[in-house]
Every structure is written in C-alpha cells, then in structure tokens.
Amino acid sequence: MRRKLAAGNWKMHGSVSALAELTTLAAQIDPQGCETVICPPATLLFHACQLVTSTDIAIGAQCCHPQPHGPFTGDVSARMIAETGASYVIAGHSERRDRYAETDAEVQAQIRAAWRENLTAILCVGESGEDRQAGITLDTIATQLAGSLPDGANGENVVIAYEPIWAIGTGDVPTLAQIGEVHDFIRAQLVRRFGDTQGKTIRLLYGGSVKPSNAADIFTAENVDGALVGGASLQAADFLPIIQALNDA
C-alpha cells in the first residue's frame, strides 16, 4: 500500500513570518491521512524543521549539490540539508533543469547524494509543450527516468513527480486521460526496471497548477498517489483543501 503524499514546493517564496502557515497546517491535518511535506527555501529549512518537530509535517529542500562540501559558491549539499533535520529533497525540477542546465546525469548524482544522507528524493520529470505537440511525451519521460533515476530506487528513498512543464504555474492542466497515461507509463517503467515489488511501492505525484478547485478531479486519475504543489502550497488555506481532497480520494 502506498501512503498518499501532498508535497508543497515553496520555490523562492516565503519568509520567517510565512512559517506560521506550517503551524496552521499542522493544527489541521489528519495524522491518519496523507503524508505532508513542505519544501521551503534553504534559508528557512532549519527554522521550519524546528517548528514541525512533533507534528505530522516533514520538511524538504528544493535541490542539493552532489558533493558534501567544496568550492561551490551558493550551493547547498545534501549533507547540509540533512543536518537541518529535513528528510526530503526535490531533484530535477524543470526550473532547475532549464535555468541551471541540470542534466539527467547531474540529477542522478544529486539523488545519490541525497540517499547517502538518508534523504528521500522527489524526482521531477515532465515534457515541454513542444514535446507534447510533437507526440514525444512518453519518450521524454522515459529518457529522463532512465538518465536521472539511479539503480536501487525503492518506495522509501524516492518519489516521482510528473510535472508537465507547460502546466507549471500556468493554470493549464492536462486531461485526466493524459495524466493517467503518463502515470501508467511511469509505473510500467518502474516495474520493468525494479521489479514488481519495488516498482509498485514508489509513489507517483502529479504536479502543475494543482489547486483546491481541481485537486479532487486530478486525484481520480490512474496511479496518482498525491501532488507536488507550487503556488497553492504557500498558504495553509489553499493547501489544506488539497490535502483533504487527497485524503478523500
């Protein structure tokens, strides 16, 4: 049985005062329900981890450098993230792949680094609008999975988020059939590579313009175990109904 997961990606938003949203969330989430993870900016990780101690919220980072330390100005290593008390890290978000030219091989190295520090990686994959137009969505996903997901993946150490780039922050959402097709495809790839047992324990999230208004619908799609939510995770008042919809699905 895969435990459902609602993950919030705050991106470069939030402040010390915005961490009050975590306290609001913690007071209202159902401990028997889905798992909840919030990924704030690196500067807030330590403080966020302190705040959620003895709540049902876990904290994650948004990316990590594969080396534990070194001359990498501005970067934060998986080891440093683990030291804050965080337990998750996003890897290969399309904004990092695009803006910082992170390759599949680099994303794979980040995930290996995350595993060395016992962090669970949330690996993002997803096609561009051009890929979808050209009918190569599944090829793109297959290439990203093959290149960025290390051997040894299992339900404990990785979660995969399908995030079509054209749906991120745009309000455009794929049809349920499109989401279901990609999630089924990812599941089949995982089972083929890691076997039935491991392949079926890895959770698959949908991400891209998930809102309180569309969450319940999205959670009816095949093989969707939760969501990776950007904008609608910044405020508890938006994220809570999404969590509720996931619990009800």
Strand partners, 38: 8, 59
Nearer to ligand PGA, 121 or 229 (CB): 229
In angstroms, the CA 177 to CA 173 distance is: 11
Residues 6+ apart with CB under 8 A from 189: 141, 142, 145
Q: Where are the alpha helices (DSSP H) in 68-148?
A: 78-83, 94-99, 104-116, 129-133, 137-148
Catalytic-labelled residue, pool 95, 117, 163, 183: 163
Rounded least distance, CB 235 to ligand PGA, Å:
12
Does residue 93 carry a catalytic annotation? yes
Nearer to ligand PGA, 209 or 223 (CB): 209
Nearer to ligand PGA, 162 or 194 (CB): 162
At 44 the three-state DSSP class reads helix
Please report, as ranges, the residues that interact with ligand PGA according to CB under 6 A.
9, 163, 168-169, 207-210, 228-232
Catalytic-labelled residue, pool 93, 102, 106, 183: 93
At 62 the three-state DSSP class reads coil
Rounded least distance, CB 228 to ligand PGA, Å:
5
Rounded least distance, CB 110 to ligand PGA, Å:
16
Task: Give me the active site residues, please.
Answer: 93, 163
